[in-house]
Chains A and B, each alone.
Chain A
Amino acid sequence: NAGVMQNPRHLVRRRGQEARLRCSPMKGHSHVYWYRQLPEEGLKFMVYLQKENIIDESGMPKERFSAEFPKEGPSILRIQQVVRGDSAAYFCASSAEGIGNQPQHFGDGTRLSIL
């Protein structure tokens, strides 16, 4: 499967724990985007990364959230000290180039539930 791979598909955490969401982009893609989707809503942009660089993090909450896309390995979205409001579906997308007129290819998401 050469598509965007996200894992885990479902993640359950208790309040105060850490959540780590992984995303492997499509083969040959070096641009990764993270979005969050609440039930019955559209996706909201969180962060845009290129290998080893954060290009745009304007949608990331100021605290507890961080993202990285190392030279080797998947992109990681990390949420520290999770709270109930972090429950959502988190989607990763990738593209071959960082220019705007290209579609983004999405993974099937990680559904995060906070107990």
Chain B
Amino acid sequence: SQQGEEDPQALSIQEGENATMNCSYKTSINNLQWYRQNSGRGLVHLILIRSNEREKHSGRLRVTLDTSKKSSSLLITASRAADTASYFCATGSIQGAQKLVFGQGTRLTINP
């Protein structure tokens, strides 16, 4: 079964607001990654957080990881229209970290 479950499935906010997406998973992980996918395109890697890390920042992105709750969140601050995309979390398990297991994704729409 799919490892990651994302919440919400769709999110629509005004430009300038912050967007928060959540991801839950089921088994022990080696790392968790977030990717962005624009319509009709491939996935773009955003950030990777290891299982022994709790928080990571990259520009306007902030990712948290709570291994006790098997959950992660992605925060995009000061959203822009160009942030409109689908966002996926993906986990690499301890047994096979190269084999990423993706969630269903959150479709984010930023309204100008």
Contact = CB atoms under 8 A, between A and B. Distances in A.
Interface of A: 4, 6, 31, 33, 35, 40-45, 48, 55-56, 58-59, 91, 93, 95, 98-109
A23 to B, nearest CB: 11
B48 A103 contact: yes
Contacts of A40: 104
A48 B42 contact: no
B98 interface: yes
B50 interface: yes
A103 B102 contact: no
Interface of B: 2, 4, 30-31, 33, 35, 40-45, 48, 50, 88, 90, 92, 96-105
9 contacts: A33-B99, A41-B105, A43-B88, A44-B2, A45-B101, A91-B42, A99-B98, A106-B42, A108-B41
Q: When A and B form their complex, which 7 residue pairs have the shortest distance between CB atoms, in order from nearest?
A: A100-B97, A42-B102, A106-B42, A103-B45, A106-B43, A100-B92, A108-B42
